[in-house]
Amino acid sequence: MDPFTDTLQRLREAFGSGRTRPAEFRAAQLRGLGRFLRENKQLLQGALAQDLHKSAFEGDVSEIIICQNEVDLALKNLHAWMKDESVAKNLFTQLDSAFIRKEPFGLVLIVAPWNYPVNLTLVPLVGALAAGNCVVLKPSEISKGTEKVLAEVLPRYLDQSCFAVVLGGPEETGQLLKHKFDYILFTGSPRVGKIIMAAATKHLTPVTLELGGKNPCYVDDDCDPQTVANRVAWFRYFNTGQTCVAPDYVLCSPEMQARLLPALQSAITRFYGEDPQSSPDLGRIINHKHFQRLRDLLSCGRVAIGGQSDESECYIAPTVLVDVQETEPVMQEEIFGPILPIMNVRGLDEAIDFINRREKPLALYAFSNSNQVVNRMLDRTSSGSFGGNEGFMYMTLSSMPLGGVGNSGMGRYHGKFSFDTFSHHRACLLSCSGLEKLNAIRYPPYSEWKQQLISWALGKQSCTLL
């Protein structure tokens, strides 16, 4: 017995009825979502604390406020985004009306991960709703606290004929994917991304996959180690390292490493105190499985900073590893934890080669006082996004899309990019019914004189006849 058939049928019928098309309906849904965020802020903060030991500050700054901003942006711009987009016409369509119509795809599925369980579920939801789709949300079963709030509270704020939350683990998700969706947005690992895309093939469903990778962080010799350490440490240990765009490993010279280590220690102590385990600002690993995985990584290379762990709390100290070999596990998989390995390279070119030998990451960072160094790193590599002298601050700009490339994903969203991702851009041309005489030239028979007339009229220039 498939638990999803009835729900999906209901949503599909609702979409077919046209209910989600008018701007007023979409705006009402977005306002509902905004109210959900405002009225349940404490509940959500509590869920995030339960799931990830996330501080209220982190929960606000990286999840709740970001969702609120997206809702506000969508409400403010909904009409503008929905408008038909006029396009340039060619010579023969001057009297016609040519535009791009944005249409909802239909039934959208959003499969979300556990690391930013509010943000990575609701930000895509904003775009899908604004674009006029019916939406099925599949929050992660691993972040149970948040899953509960989303399943039990969120639907009360939205029109449930057009929105549903479905629950379950990998098996249920597999069952869900047998059904037809008109768009799927998935955030998670590349391994599961492949499974999702393969499943989407059955119904030729387009997908956006926000995946992961090992995000390199190049630290040039020409820089102030403390400034760099502050930034790198903050972005690394935020959410206990469980961030898809966090710097995964550092590339620097041995000389810079020697200056960076005390600076990193200083930053960590300033941020989390002498005993990070008692800091309210440091989170915990999501579950025991990941805790074990990360604890095993601690035996790679040599622990230069941190290295402590406490299984009872799924706590791992902010850690820096040195003398790491490329073949060790910590350099083979995305770390997704508060461990920062430092790899030595001699200069920018070696760093670039190192990076280019590996899969394209979701993010790439370069720290240097020299613009040339930063630009060269940008020009010679590829990644989803790029931060020069900064971590994933770009995530706060809704004017920039978030998306991967290669193994780190395909497609993008945030702000207007979400709206565009969840819309079909339909090319429309409304032709004049009259002026048929002008068209005469395009019809057969293509006699000699017609061909000559055209060639003469158009000269050497090519020109379409339509």
Binding residues for another protein restricted to 370-409, rule: CB under 8 A: 374, 378-380, 382-390, 393-394, 396-397, 399-403, 405-407, 409
What distance separates the 2 farthest-apart alpha carbons in the chain?
Answer: 91
Task: Tell me if residue 210 is catalytic.
Answer: yes
CB of 40 or CB of 368, closer to another protein:
368
Which span (75-83, 94-102, 138-146, 292-300) binds another protein, by CB under 8 A? 94-102
Distance separating alpha carbons of residues 17 and 415, to the nearest angstrom: 27
Q: Shortest Cβ distance from residue 197 to another protein (Å)?
A: 4
Report CA torsion sign: 259, 260, 262, 267: positive
- Rule CB under 8 A: say whether 452 interacts with another protein: no
- CB neighbours of 458 closer than 8 A, spacing ≥ 6? none
Which span (87-95, 126-134, 160-168, 332-340) binds another protein, by CB under 8 A? 87-95
Q: Which of 116, 22, 131, 112 is nearest to 74 (CA)?
A: 131
- Rule CB under 8 A: say whether 4 interacts with another protein: no
CB of 299 or CB of 443, closer to another protein:
443
Residues 134-163 that bind another protein (CB under 8 A): none
The Cα-based distances of 313 to 26, 309, 320, 464 in angstroms read: 42, 9, 20, 70
- Rule CB under 8 A: say whether 98 interacts with another protein: yes
CB of 3 or CB of 174, closer to another protein:
174
| One of 3, 170, 254, 280 touching another protein (CB under 8 A) | 280
- CB neighbours of 352 closer than 8 A, spacing ≥ 6? 376, 377, 380, 381
Residues 294-353 that bind another protein (CB under 8 A): none
| One of 44, 131, 209, 321 touching another protein (CB under 8 A) | 209
Q: Shortest Cβ distance from residue 217 to another protein (Å)?
A: 14
Q: Shortest Cβ distance from residue 368 to another protein (Å)?
A: 7
Q: How many residues bind another protein (CB under 8 A)?
A: 110
| One of 95, 429, 453, 457 touching another protein (CB under 8 A) | 429
List strands edge to edge, sheet with 163-165: 163-165, 134-138, 107-111, 183-187, 207-210, 409-410
DSSP-derived letter for residue 215 is -
Q: Shortest Cβ distance from residue 152 to another protein (Å)?
A: 25
Residues 8-67 that bind another protein (CB under 8 A): 16, 18, 21, 55-58, 60-61, 65
DSSP-derived letter for residue 158 is S
Q: Which of 91, 88, 87 is nearest to 462 (CA)?
A: 91
- Rule CB under 8 A: say whether 241 interacts with another protein: no
Which span (128-136, 163-171, 266-274, 286-294) binds another protein, by CB under 8 A? 266-274
Residues 178-207 that bind another protein (CB under 8 A): 182, 190, 193-194, 197-198, 200-204, 206
Q: Shortest Cβ distance from residue 265 to another protein (Å)?
A: 15
Residue 40 near residue 135, CB atoms below 8 Å: no
User: Residue 382 burial by CB count (10 A; 0-12/13-18/19+): exposed, middle or buried?
Assistant: middle
In the block, tokens 């565009």 appear at 420
CA 36 to chain centre: 22
- Rule CB under 8 A: say whether 252 interacts with another protein: no
Distance separating alpha carbons of residues 26 and 9, to the nearest angstrom: 20
CB of 145 or CB of 406, closer to another protein:
406
Strand pairing category for 385-388 and 363-367 = parallel
Q: Please report, in angstroms and rounded to a whole number, the separation of the first and last CA atoms in the chain.
A: 54
CB atoms within 10 A of CB 356: 11
DSSP-derived letter for residue 381 is -
How many helices and strands, by DSSP H and E, does the chain display?
17, 18
- Rule CB under 8 A: say whether 174 interacts with another protein: no
Q: Shortest Cβ distance from residue 106 to another protein (Å)?
A: 8
CB of 297 or CB of 368, closer to another protein:
368
CB of 258 or CB of 465, closer to another protein:
465
Residue 169 near residue 192, CB atoms below 8 Å: no
Q: Shortest Cβ distance from residue 89 to another protein (Å)?
A: 6
Residues 119-138 that bind another protein (CB under 8 A): none
Catalytic pick among 171, 210, 334, 350: 210
As annotated, the active-site residues are 210
